Amino acid sequence: MNAPDRSALAPAAYASTWETNFNFAYLDERSKRMIRRAILKAVAIPGYQVPFGSREMPLPYGWGTGGIQVTASIIGPDDVLKVIDQGADDTVNAVNIRRFFQRTTGVRTTESTAAATVIQTRHRIPEVPLSAHQILVYQVPVPEPLQRLEPREVETRRMHGLSEYGLMHVKFYEDIARYGHIVTTYDYPVMVDGRYLMSPSPIPAFDNPKMHMNPALQLFGAGREKRIYAVPPHTAVESLAFDDYPFAPQRWDAVCAICAAADSFLDEVITDDRGGRMHVCSDTDYCRTRQAAAP
């Protein structure tokens, strides 16, 4: 790699702010071991939701406690951590979680996707393809893809056991009958390794294809619902669809107003009260890197 981008690596001063009153990465070693066991099981059974003894973290449930516990269990002093929310490194929740790990581990942090070894994310997969030395940790609000169709866990567990996913197909069929196409735009369910139906977390359907055969390890943590699941490297991940109604992620007529990218997920920003708006990359690192590379 070239000389590291100065803005990409956090100042070394962070290391000295490491709070020694807590164990490394906050959780005690026995809790981490329990979580690692759940992770190993999850990797062994791709897409299967492994129950785990989720701890009460000092951040609220629903704000990434599952992802935080997974990251806390796998992170080591040599890791370089990137935290994104909505694709951006500088949204308050991402900043807050990064700050939490800076305080409790003192590890180096980065905004560069390529420089990170562990990336914790909420709602996006980075645009830059990941590599084998990286782990992507997703924050998951609702791990059960069938929950909105069948709230009873006893029932959904049975459906997974029998690989009986007719309920979701019927939902999609009804979408098509009513609206002309499938109206799920995010948290679009996927089949993992041809066996388990899985929630990809609320990433846009646009990101779903990136999960397929990804060389990085993808871990999913749901703290409130106390589940961990995984997509091991190079695993088939297929977005659910019909032969005559294939999977159709979102697309834009616009390009990024800052870096002119036509291949990235675009956020719409309202610029005035007269209907003015612009589209910009949701992945801030991708956008910044493209701007820097532009002549």
Partner 1 sequence: MYVAVKGGERAIENSLALLASQRRGDPQVPELTLQQIREQMRLAVDRVMTEGSVYDEDLAALALKQAAGDTLEAVFLLRAYRATLPRLGYTQAIDTAQMQLARRVSATFKDLPGGQLLGPTYDYTQRLLDFSLAAAAEPPVAPESPMEVEAAAVPRVMDLLAAEGLIEVCQPREGDPAPADLTRDPLHFPADRPTRLQNLARGDEGFLLALGYSTQRGYAHSHPFAAEIRFGRVEIEIEPDELGFAVSIGDIDVTECQMVNQFAGSATELPRFTRGYGLCFGHCERKAMAMALVDRALCAAELGEDVVAPAQMPEFVLSHSDSLEASGFVAHLKLPHYVDFQAELELLRRMRSRDIATAAEAA
Q: Which residues bind partner 1 (CB under 8 A)?
A: 22-23, 26, 28, 31, 51-58, 60-63, 65, 85-88, 90-96, 99, 122-124, 141, 151-154, 179-180, 183, 185-187, 202-206, 224, 226-227, 250-252, 257-258, 265-269, 271, 278, 280, 282
Cα separation, 118 vs 101, in Å, equals 12
Beta strands in the chain (DSSP E): 50-51, 80-85, 108-109, 118-122, 135-139, 190-192, 196-198, 217-222, 227-231, 237-239, 266-270, 277-281
CA distances from 221 to 67, 74, 274 (A): 5, 12, 42
- CB of residue 248 to partner 1, shortest distance in Å: 10
| Look-up of token digits 């294809």 | 209
Give the residue with the Cβ less far from partner 1, 89 or 235: 89
Minimum Å gap between C-beta 1 and partner 1 is 26
Closest to partner 1 by CB, 66 or 235: 66
Q: Which CB sits closer to partner 1, 45 or 96?
A: 96
Q: What is the DSSP letter of 129?
A: P
Closer to partner 1 by CB, 28 or 164: give it. Answer: 28
The DSSP code for 63 is S
- Closest approach, Cβ 18 to partner 1, in A, equals 16
CA separation for the pair 210, 275 (Å, rounded): 33
Of the pair 223, 235, the CB lying nearest partner 1 is at 223
**Considering 64, 66, 67, 281, which one is annotated as catalytic?**
281
Determine which one of 64, 66, 221, 287 is catalytic: 287
Distance CA 129, CA 131 (A): 7
Q: Which of 47, 64, 106, 221 is catalytic?
A: 47
- 3-class DSSP state of 137: strand
Is residue 180 annotated as a catalytic residue, yes or no? no
Q: Which helix (H) or strand (E) holds 57?
A: none
Structure tokens at 13: 């001063």
Instruction: Based on the residue annotation, tell me whether 64 is a catalytic residue of this protein.
Output: no
Report, in Å, the least distance between residue 129 CB and partner 1: 19
Among residues 166, 221, 256, 275, which one is catalytic?
256
* 287 is an active site residue: yes
Nearer of residues 220 and 235 to partner 1, judged by Cβ? 220
Report the distance separating Cα 190 and Cα 193, nearest Å.
10
Q: What angle do the packed helices 92-105 and 65-74 form, to 10 degrees? A: 30
Closest CB 163 distance from partner 1, rounded Å: 20
Rounded to a whole number of angstroms, the minimum distance from the CB of residue 217 to partner 1 is 23
Out of 64, 221, 259, 275, which one is annotated catalytic?
259
Q: Which residues are catalytic?
A: 47, 256, 259, 281, 287
